């Protein structure tokens, strides 16, 4: 069957080698690297500027939870030596400024078309070219397409009965207005208690006259202990960057350099274990999960960490019933991404902050100025939806992608995403994905994973050019083996026990498959490098 052809209004771009979709960190680095090969690259970005995640998520308190000295590009030593991060975890405006600085520094904007959504990409098997159509009605023909569309870029608004009747303002954390939002004097309702909610709730509580938090599932959160970075701290990173970056790429499963003892939680007597948990709780941040090397592998070990956090919650929160509700009981700690907060639990001690359990009593209806649950109406003037994303596949699925024989990627992935290495999907030649399902991606410091994928893709394109190859495609057998491996590794951990967005469980009807690869960034990098060294084993190149 011939591939379906799009109906473009007009053609543009006489010769484009690579179309990149998205101008977050992945898109920016892709443009920089591919341009370095002398290729003609066109980036389409639906937002009005670069930055991706940091362009869209402008809610109060938004900041990274991987320390900024590590959550930053490593590809240019001058860049990492010159950029000054102000805090241990930079706030969103600063990360956005950094993305803008990267774009300006390497003169990237001239090849990025903003406010333009990629609608479809159709592969023409005779010409071996993709036709990419965009929201401005244009079609662009390119040899390669790279989806740098982001894993957490498709904000999800659940359907609540009566939502359209609500008379107040509604905000989604993942698509926050550019102008400041002032909640002073307002009764605010927040739906959700994931990372976005946990970062924003303490700040919304500063302004709101009444804050009601609607919680379906309690989450584990550890204190960030954010603080300004001192010159000495910055210098210590900068002086040691070559080794720190090497370790992040090779030695640490999640691409974050941190002390990880070579022992499991049950190898220590209880009092030592508690001391260690206390030490990490006091130093703050995601590294809490690195106290022991088996917390996501062994249930009993995990229980010790979960119990420790639950104890801290009951210590911080004065009202016993609120403390009980805030204690997660239905998933192992770390099987959903652990949250990192500043004063989250203590916020519930404020007299104007209320926690409502919508697991026991799901939201029944939204009324013009209230939210009804458990037969009771909670009055609100504004609603904040901190309800997350259609993660990992959501933004890809919104593009009508047609590969060989006109098959759509959505059809192929109808029972869950299938990729080889998270980088390509069989039947979709010359279409690459950055941090796609089947790669370490969201389980890692994403900039480490983005740089690794972009380097691999760029090397692959250069290899093809050097050999005069036109087409690269994952083989079905290599893909099948990889998917089986990804599932097998996941099954040996506690991750699949949680109803997480890693599993697609937050989207009604989405197939439930653990999407990222848990093998770790170092192991994964080695696998990718070995495959490239074996002339791209598992890929067909013609």
User: CA 405 → CA 140, 265, 429, distances in Å?
Assistant: 20, 52, 12
**HEC-encoded secondary structure of 239-306:** HCHHHHHHHHHHCCCCCCCCCCCCCCHHHCCHHHHHHHHHHHHHHCCHHHHHCCCCCCCCHHHHHHHH
Phi, psi dihedral angles at 170 (to 5 degrees): -120, 130
216 contact, one of ligand FAD, ligand N01, none, CB 5-8 Å limit per kind? ligand N01
- Give how far Cα 157 sits from Cα of 201, 378, 388, 503, Å: 18, 20, 8, 18
Binding status of residue 72 toward ligand N01 by CB under 6 A: no
Is residue 67 at the binding interface for ligand FAD, with CB under 6 A as the rule? no
Which of 3, 18, 19, 25 touches ligand FAD by CB under 6 A?
25
Q: Whole-number minimum distance, CB 359 to ligand N01, in Å?
A: 7
Candidates 79-87, 175-183, 382-390, 530-538; binding stretch for ligand N01 (CB under 6 A): 382-390
386 binds, among ligand N01, ligand FAD, none (CB under 5 to 8 A by kind): ligand N01
Residue nearest to ligand N01 (CB): 194
- From its phi and psi, is residue 458 left (phi > 0), alpha (psi between -120 and 50) or beta? alpha
Q: Which residues have a Cβ under 8 Å from the Cβ of 272 and sit 6 or more positions away?
A: none
Task: Rank residues 168 and 388 by Cβ distance to ligand N01 and give the closer one.
Answer: 388
CB 150 within 8 A of CB 38: no
Q: Is 217 in the site for ligand N01 (CB under 6 A)?
A: yes
Is 291 a binding residue for ligand FAD by CB under 6 A? The answer is no
Count of residues that interact with ligand N01, criterion CB under 6 A = 26
Q: 147-162: b or e for each residue (b if 16 or more CB lie within 10 Å)?
A: bbbbbbbbbbeeebee
Do residues 230 and 207 lie in contact, with contact meaning Cβ atoms separated by under 8 Å?
no
When binding is defined by CB under 6 A, the residue of 358, 401, 478, 531 that contacts ligand N01 is 358
Q: Which stretch binds ligand FAD (CB under 6 A): 55-63, 76-84, 161-169, 531-539?
A: 55-63
In the shown chain, the binding pattern of residues 146 to 185 toward ligand FAD, with x for contact by CB under 6 A and - for none, equals: --xxxxxx--------------------------------
The stretch near ligand FAD (CB under 6 A) out of 145-153, 220-228, 261-269, 361-369 is 145-153
Are the C-beta atoms of residues 417 and 437 closer than 8 Å to each other? yes
CA distance 9 to 137: 5
Q: Report whether 284 contacts 223 (CB < 8 A).
A: yes
Q: Which residues here bind ligand FAD, judged by CB under 6 A?
A: 21-27, 44-47, 52-53, 55, 57, 62, 64-66, 71, 117-118, 148-153, 196, 395, 398-399, 434-435, 445-446, 450
Q: Which residues here bind ligand N01, judged by CB under 6 A?
A: 64-65, 152, 158, 173, 191-197, 199, 216-217, 337, 340, 358, 363, 386-389, 442, 501, 506
């Amino acid at each position: 069957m011939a591939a379906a052809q799009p109906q473009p209004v007009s053609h543009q771009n006489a010769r484009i080698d690579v179309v990149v979709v998205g101008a977050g960190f992945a898109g920016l680095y892709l443009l920089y690297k591919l341009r370095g090969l002398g290729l003609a690259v066109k980036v389409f970005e639906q937002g009005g500027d670069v930055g991706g995640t940091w362009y869209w998520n402008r809610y109060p308190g938004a900041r990274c939870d991987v320390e900024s000295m590590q959550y930053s590009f490593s590809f240019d030593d001058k860049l990492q030596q010159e950029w000054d991060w102000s805090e241990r975890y930079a706030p969103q405006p600063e990360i956005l400024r950094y993305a803008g600085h990267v774009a300006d520094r390497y003169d990237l904007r001239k090849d990025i078309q903003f406010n333009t959504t990629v609608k479809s990409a159709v592969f023409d098997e005779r010409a071996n070219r993709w036709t990419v159509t965009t929201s401005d009605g244009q079609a662009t023909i390119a040899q390669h397409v790279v989806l740098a569309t982001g894993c957490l870029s498709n904000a999800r608004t659940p359907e609540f009965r009566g939502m359209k009747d609500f008379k107040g303002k509604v905000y989604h954390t993942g698509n926050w207005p550019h102008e400041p939002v002032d909640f002073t004097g307002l009764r605010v309702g927040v739906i959700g208690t994931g990372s976005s909610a946990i970062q924003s709730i303490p700040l919304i509580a500063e302004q709101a006259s009444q804050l009601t938090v609607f919680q379906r599932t309690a989450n584990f959160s550890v204190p960030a202990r954010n603080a300004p970075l001192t010159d000495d701290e910055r210098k210590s990173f900068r002086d040691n960057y070559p080794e720190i970056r090497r370790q992040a790429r090779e030695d640490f499963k999640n691409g974050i350099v941190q002390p990880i003892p070579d022992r499991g939680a049950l190898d220590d007597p209880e009092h030592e274990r508690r001391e260690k948990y206390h030490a990490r709780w006091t130093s703050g941040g995601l590294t809490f999960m690195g106290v022991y090397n088996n917390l996501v592998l062994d249930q009993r070990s995990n229980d010790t960490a979960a119990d420790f956090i639950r104890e801290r919650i009951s210590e911080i929160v004065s009202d016993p019933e609120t403390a009980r509700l805030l204690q997660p009981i239905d998933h192992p700690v770390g099987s959903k991404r652990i949250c990192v907060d500043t004063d989250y639990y203590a916020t519930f001690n404020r007299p104007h902050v209320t926690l409502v359990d919508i697991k026991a009593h799901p939201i029944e209806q939204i009324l013009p100025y209230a939210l009804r649950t458990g037969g009771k109406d909670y009055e609100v003037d504004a609603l904040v939806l901190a309800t997350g994303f259609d993660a990992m596949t959501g933004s890809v699925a919104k593009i009508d992608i047609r590969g060989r024989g006109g098959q759509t990627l959505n059809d192929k992935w109808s029972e869950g995403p299938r990729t080889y290495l998270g980088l390509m999907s069989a039947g979709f030649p010359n279409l690459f994905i950055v941090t796609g399902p089947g790669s370490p991606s969201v389980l890692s410091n994403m900039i480490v994973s983005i740089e690794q994928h972009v380097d691999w893709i760029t090397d692959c394109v250069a290899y093809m050019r050097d050999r005069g190859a036109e087409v690269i495609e994952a083989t079905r057998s290599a893909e099948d083996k990889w998917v089986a491996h990804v599932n097998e590794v996941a099954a040996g951990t506690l991750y699949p026990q949680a109803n997480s967005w890693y599993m697609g469980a937050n989207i009604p009807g989405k197939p439930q498959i653990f999407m990222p690869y848990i093998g770790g960034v170092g192991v994964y990098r080695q696998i990718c490098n070995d495959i490239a060294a074996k002339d791209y084993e598992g890929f067909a190149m013609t």
